């Protein structure tokens, strides 16, 4: 069978416009002299990554190169060897290579040191620094590659960086990105690469997911490459392995993939990391749509024990106040009372809003990990006793919502009256939050805000666990 090109292997290939030349032909000649050969798909990837427009700047310099790829493909070899050769070819090139975990960063550093041991490459290397936190390969022409883990804070404080490699990009926080991207501002021609596997539930994957969304839209100024199997495939289908992994079976053996299949355990993990399938393509919402719709009501019963919950998305773009009313018959109502743009309205209004209602409220609840915790001191100053949920409480609260939906005892208004709550309920999966099987909500896509559901979830928790008795039943306006 003839070797296939990148365009034949990638499920998604979005290339930047205006490429008239590339650094790759020169790099490939150097690689050949040093005994390195690239498969056809690797050649295509590196040609596009190093492609330049008429002005001599990288065509993907604006949005970067983004690679969504499964494990056991050889991405570290492909990008690592290219970076090593670029440093040998271009004087005074400064490169930062970061991974989320220290172990991954250490493994990449050792792999890159392997290139330096090559007799044909060793002459380009000045020295190798192996101290923890200061791992570096320095070249005789003044170029440097520095390695570090983002979990250890690596990447802050650098300047005049020409190339940044974000490995494990599925675990790249917005804060880490904001800390590191400015380091390339003074580079005349920066090159930024994001590469990772589809994220697991709970990973801080907003950055990688946003990049993928841009790639799926074929946004210009970036290179997006995605290798993956069919979303609904049989995970043991060897043809699907070949779709997801361009190195199978030529460089990655069946034994290696079977070993990974066993180590990863369940099918979902293997779909993500072994087959490159994103959860948004095949995941099922944690809340059954029909059961959720069954809880729709037109005339809500507002008599009962009243509680409020607060939540914000990670980017603090909105503030949600959820309400819950616990009825004497064991049923309950949840409702999104307020949902405001925090960038326009701020958050201080919520303190006054809750203080006005506190005398007739049984509980106000915020989860300990929520950005809404910033309101806690101001709420306490207004003598509002806030229940702060920890992981165990949040797991119990999430479980209660699911149990009541299944039992048909949780009520809410329909999507027309509660669009944000409805969208959140239809856009959640579950994530692990502890060793005892506890689960919490997790959004299916980067463009979904689940804070309305989270606010109602903790409000329901407060309505059931609070011992505060405001004195009389309260009627509230929905």
Rounded to whole angstroms, how far apart are CA atoms 195 and 15?
16
Q: What is the pLDDT of residue 433?
A: 82
Q: What is the pLDDT of residue 311?
A: 98
CATH number of 289-465: 3.30.420.240
Asked if the domains at 6-227 and 289-465 fall in one CATH topology, the answer is no
Rounded to whole angstroms, how far apart are CA atoms 9 and 381?
60
Per-position DSSP letters for 229-252, written without gaps between them? --TT--TT-HHHHHHH-TTTTTTS
pLDDT (tens digit per residue) in 82-116: 999 999 999 999 999 999 989 899 999 999 998 88
Instruction: Count CB neighbours of 102 within 10 A.
Output: 16
Q: Please report where in the chains the tokens 């099918």 appear, as a residue.
A: 267
Instruction: Report the candidate in 83, 105, 186, 207 with the shortest Cα–Cα distance to residue 152.
Output: 105
Question: What does the chain come to in residues?
Answer: 478
Per-domain residue ranges of the chain: 6-227, 289-465
Scored b (16 or more CB within 10 A) or e, 2-28 reads: eeeebeebbbebbbbeebeebbbeebb
pLDDT (tens digit per residue) in 155-171: 777 888 999 999 999 99
Structure tokens at 366: 């915020």
Q: Give the side-chain half-sphere CA count within 13 A for 453.
A: 28
Sign of torsion, CA 186 187 191 193? negative
User: Which residues of the chain are under the pLDDT cut of 50?
Assistant: 282, 473-474
- Which uninterrupted H or E stretch holds 315? none
Report CA-CA distances (Å) from 117 to 26, 121, 128: 22, 7, 11
Instruction: Report the candidate in 64, 257, 81 with the shortest Cα–Cα distance to residue 172.
Output: 64
Options 3.10.20.30, 3.40.50.300, 3.30.360.10, 1.20.1250.20; CATH of 6-227:
3.40.50.300
Which runs of E-coded beta strand occur in 57-124? 64-68, 94-99
CB of 323 within 8 A of CB of 335? yes
């Amino acid at each position: 069978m003839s070797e296939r090109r990148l365009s034949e292997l990638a499920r998604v290939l979005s290339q930047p416009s205006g490429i008239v030349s590339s650094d790759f032909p020169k790099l490939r000649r150097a690689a050949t002299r040093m005994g390195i050969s690239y498969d056809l798909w690797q050649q295509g990837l590196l040609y596009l990554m190093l492609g330049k427009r008429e002005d001599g700047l990288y065509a993907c310099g604006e949005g970067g190169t983004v690679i969504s790829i499964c494990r056991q493909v050889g991405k570290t070899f492909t990008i690592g060897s290219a970076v090593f050769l670029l440093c040998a070819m271009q004087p005074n090139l400064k490169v930062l290579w970061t991974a989320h975990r220290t172990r991954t960063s250490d493994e990449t550093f050792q792999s890159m040191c392997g290139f330096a041991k090559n007799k044909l490459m060793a002459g380009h290397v000045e020295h190798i620094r192996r101290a923890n936190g200061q791992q570096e390969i320095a070249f005789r022409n003044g170029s440097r590659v520095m390695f570090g883990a983002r979990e250890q804070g690596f990447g802050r404080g650098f300047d005049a960086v020409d190339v940044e490699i974000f490995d494990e990009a599925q675990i790249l926080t917005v804060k880490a990105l904001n800390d590191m991207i400015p380091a390339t501002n003074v580079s005349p021609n920066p090159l930024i690469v994001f590469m990772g596997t589809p994220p697991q539930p709970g990973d801080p994957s907003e950055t990688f997911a946003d990049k993928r969304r841009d790639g799926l839209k074929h946004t210009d100024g970036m290179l997006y490459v995605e290798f993956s199997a069919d979303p609904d495939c049989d995970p043991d289908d060897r043809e699907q392995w070949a779709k997801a992994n361009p190195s199978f079976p030529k460089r990655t053996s069946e034994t290696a993939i079977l070993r990974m299949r066993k180590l990863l355990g369940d099918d979902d993990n293997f779909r993500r990391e072994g087959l490159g399938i994103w959860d948004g393509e095949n995941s099922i919402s944690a809340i059954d749509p029909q059961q959720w719709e069954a809880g729709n009501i037109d005339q809500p019963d507002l008599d009962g024990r009243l509680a409020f919950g607060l939540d914000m998305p990670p980017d603090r773009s909105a503030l949600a106040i959820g309400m819950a009313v616990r009825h004497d018959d064991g049923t309950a109502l949840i409702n999104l009372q307020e949902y405001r743009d925090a960038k326009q309205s701020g958050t201080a209004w919520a303190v006054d809003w809750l203080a006005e209602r506190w005398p007739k409220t049984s509980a106000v609840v915020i989860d300990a990990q929520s950005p809404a915790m910033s309101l806690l001191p101001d709420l306490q100053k207004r003598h509002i006793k806030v229940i702060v949920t920890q992981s165990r409480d949040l797991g119990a609260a999430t479980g209660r919502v699911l149990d009541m939906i299944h039992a048909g005892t949780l009520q809410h208004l329909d999507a027309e009256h509660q669009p944000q709550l409805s969208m959140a309920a239809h856009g959640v999966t579950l994530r692990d939050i502890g060793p005892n099987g506890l689960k919490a909500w997790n959004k299916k896509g980067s463009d979904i805000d689940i804070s309305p559901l989270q606010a109602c979830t903790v409000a329901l928790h407060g309505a059931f666990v609070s011992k505060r008795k405001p004195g009389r039943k309260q009627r509230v306006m929905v």
